[in-house]
Amino acid sequence: MKSVMEIVEKFIKYHELTKDEYCELLENSTNQSVSDRLSEEAVKIRKKHYGNKVYTRGLIEFTNYCKNNCYYCGIRRGNHHATRYRLTKDEILDCCQNGYLLGFRTFVLQGGEDPWFTDDRLVEIIRSVRENYPDCAITLSAGEKPYNSYKKFREAGADRYLLRHETADEAHYRSLHPEEMSLTTRKQCLYDLKSLGYQVGAGFMVGSPGQTLDNLAEDLIFLKDLNPQMVGIGPFIPHHDTKFAEEKAGSVELTLFLLSVIRILLPKVLLPATTALGTLDPRGREKGLLAGANVVMPNLSPVKNRKQYDLYDNKICTGEEAAECRGCLMGRVESVGYHLVDERGDAIDWPIE
């Protein structure tokens, strides 16, 4: 049997392991020599591909209506305490204008699965952003849609799509979502998005209720197979109005460990240091960058709606104006030796020939 250090070196050399080896690696996430070796290698890889650059994405949370009922999420339809809002097309364009002047060249339109935003309405919004900001990337994060809807959005000018798979394990998926949702559909959406030429982002929460190391190993195997351009991971954080209110939050250390692992697994991946990480640890995003992340996603949503996009408790950046958020992050990024850039920050080697 291989020692854990032999497994680490094998991973660094081949960027892939067997499921048993991933489990062994993850069992050693609190072993300092293991995490040091992985983060050292992760930083080396990120510097080779991206130097000191950190890309920034302006997050526009355009609706908190959602037809789904994911058990962990504060804006799920069953939460009748949530105060709902939708941004108008003009409000979305105002966010983009504000962001553009601050140096953002990627806008992420994220929201619950809100049927009011029909394909036609979303297409109109995407077209307007595309026309007004031809040099910017448009990222959507609006949940599961039929292939033809994704196709229309792509044709209207969307470049990227974020859809976390949440967990690659069937039984674990069932325990986090109601019967009407399915892991098969979620995975199919990701493959559809890839086939339509989107830069695709998958990902999962670290420490979601019931998650085992075996589940995380499955996540890594799925990510290697999907080979997405982006991976979003952040700790699970309980929300007081969900059935997981009393569950423990995910671990910052394990999230950092996994950021390093994912950097090695998919060397060129665009990997954000997430708001959830910054919520659990005041220096969480800085630590994320030091573990191998190369993207930050400051909030561009109107301040009046920020608190309403309430996915989990104590979410940070809900009171600050966009400029303050960007300035704050710029300082944080510089404090760990990196540099925030005003670029689209497309995936390396994109588009694939």
User: Which residues make up the interface to ligand SAM (CB under 6 A)?
Assistant: 72-73, 110, 112-113, 141-143, 163-164, 166, 205, 234, 236-237, 239, 276, 311-312
- Print burial letters for 251-288: b (CB count within 10 Å at least 16), e (below 16): bbbbbbbbbbbbbbbbbbbbbbbbbbbbbbbeebbbbb
Q: Which is nearer to ligand SAM, 34 or 269 (CB)?
A: 269
Residue 45 Ramachandran class (φ > 0 left, ψ -120 to 50 alpha, else beta): alpha
Q: Which is nearer to ligand FES, 244 or 338 (CB)?
A: 338
Alpha-helix residue ranges (DSSP H) falling in the chain:
4-14, 19-27, 32-50, 89-102, 119-132, 147-156, 170-176, 183-195, 213-226, 252-265, 275-280, 284-291, 303-306, 322-335
Q: Which is nearer to ligand SAM, 274 or 294 (CB)?
A: 274
Among ligand FES, ligand SAM, none, the one that 15 touches (CB under a kind-dependent 5 to 8 A) is none
Q: Which is nearer to ligand SAM, 38 or 70 (CB)?
A: 70
Among ligand FES, ligand SAM, none, the one that 272 touches (CB under a kind-dependent 5 to 8 A) is none
ω before 351 within 30° of 0 (cis)? yes
Q: What residues contact 131, with CB distance under 8 A and at least 6 apart?
A: none
Among ligand FES, ligand SAM, none, the one that 320 touches (CB under a kind-dependent 5 to 8 A) is ligand FES
Measured from the CB of residue 272, what is the shortest distance to ligand FES in angstroms? 12
Measured from the CB of residue 21, what is the shortest distance to ligand SAM in angstroms? 26
Give the integer Cα–Cα distance in Å for 342 and 321: 19
DSSP helix/strand/coil, 12: helix
Measured from the CB of residue 299, what is the shortest distance to ligand FES in angstroms? 6
Among ligand FES, ligand SAM, none, the one that 298 touches (CB under a kind-dependent 5 to 8 A) is ligand FES
For residue 310, give both structure tokens: 């309430």
Distance of CA 25 to the CA centre of its chain: 23
61 bridge partner residues: 110
Measured from the CB of residue 1, what is the shortest distance to ligand SAM in angstroms? 35
Among ligand FES, ligand SAM, none, the one that 214 touches (CB under a kind-dependent 5 to 8 A) is none
Closest CA to 56 of 263, 314, 341: 341
Measured from the CB of residue 347, what is the shortest distance to ligand SAM in angstroms? 19
- Catalog residues that contact ligand FES under the rule CB under 6 A: 298, 317, 320, 324-325, 328-329
Measured from the CB of residue 136, what is the shortest distance to ligand FES in angstroms? 20
Among ligand FES, ligand SAM, none, the one that 239 touches (CB under a kind-dependent 5 to 8 A) is ligand SAM
Among ligand FES, ligand SAM, none, the one that 276 touches (CB under a kind-dependent 5 to 8 A) is ligand SAM
Helix then strand then coil, % of the chain, to nearest 5: 45, 15, 40
Asked whether the beta carbons of 52 and 339 are under 8 A apart, the reply is yes
Q: Which is nearer to ligand SAM, 91 or 113 (CB)?
A: 113
Q: Which is nearer to ligand SAM, 70 or 290 (CB)?
A: 70
